[in-house]
Amino acid sequence: MTGPQAQAAPGEGSSALAYREREAGGKPSGLLVLHHGRGSNEGDLMALAAVLDPERRLHVVSPRAPIELPGSPGYHWYLVPRAGHPDPETFGEACSVLGTFHDELWRRTGIEPARTVLGGFSMGAAMSYAVGLGAGRPLPAGILALSGFLPTMTGWRPDLAGRAGLPVLIAHGARDSVLPVALAREAERALREGGLPVEYHESESAHHVDPRQLHTFRAWVDARLPSSA
């Protein structure tokens, strides 16, 4: 890989996920992995790198979801029978391939899970929960969940007992017509009851990243991944 925005070809490495990455300006203080939303691609959230980490302290990576649907733009992590309820089979497959991608990324960069923030928007937030809270998965430094939901489904449940103390930031719009804000409130309640410290932000926005909250997200990421200096 060369350059700050290098892209891997699909199938490169055993995870078979394409990705984009932006290297740190020097020795990285940590790793920020951003998971895009439904019908998007690995370049969509890379613009957040400049906002969340303008000093280029972090190594930033964004993988591409594995599913393409006929007649639908972009890429998808799993199929969606109804909002907030992933298809179990494709969700399980996505968890497996994304977990492999993260494992390979930690080995390749030498940046351990404890110095990694997992972030995502919408469907990508659900995937951040899935791999960050999944039983047997490495414990990250934090989870940044933007306009998403905590998956609830047969065959998967979050390992909250094993994640007590893991910081989570949840941000959601009260006017979100794609994923109702009630899903974010339910996630906050479940995580708090499970012993996770949650920073919750609700705005009057729709289904998008509210630009008025970006400074808050940056401060939270800075606190999770402080400068090695």
pLDDT in tens, 39-62: 999 999 999 999 999 999 999 999
Listed in sequence order, the residues at least 6 apart from 1 whose beta carbon sits closer than 8 Å to its beta carbon are 8, 21
Indicate if the pLDDT at residue 64 is higher than 60: yes
Indicate if the pLDDT at residue 164 is higher than 50: yes
**CA angle, 201 as apex, 149 and 74 as ends, to 5°?**
45
pLDDT of residue 153: 82
pLDDT band at 156 (very low <50, low <70, confident <90, very high): confident
pLDDT band at 228 (very low <50, low <70, confident <90, very high): low
CA 228 to each of CA 34, 51, 59, 106, 115: distance values in angstroms, whole numbers, following the listed order: 21, 20, 13, 18, 10
51-224 fold? Rossmann fold (3.40.50)
| Domain boundaries of the chain, sorted by first residue | 51-224
Query: Percent helix, strand, coil in the chain (nearest 5)?
Result: 35, 20, 45
Helix (H, G, I), strand (E, B) or coil at 158: coil
Indicate if the pLDDT at residue 229 is higher than 50: no
CA 70 to chain CA mean position, Å: 25
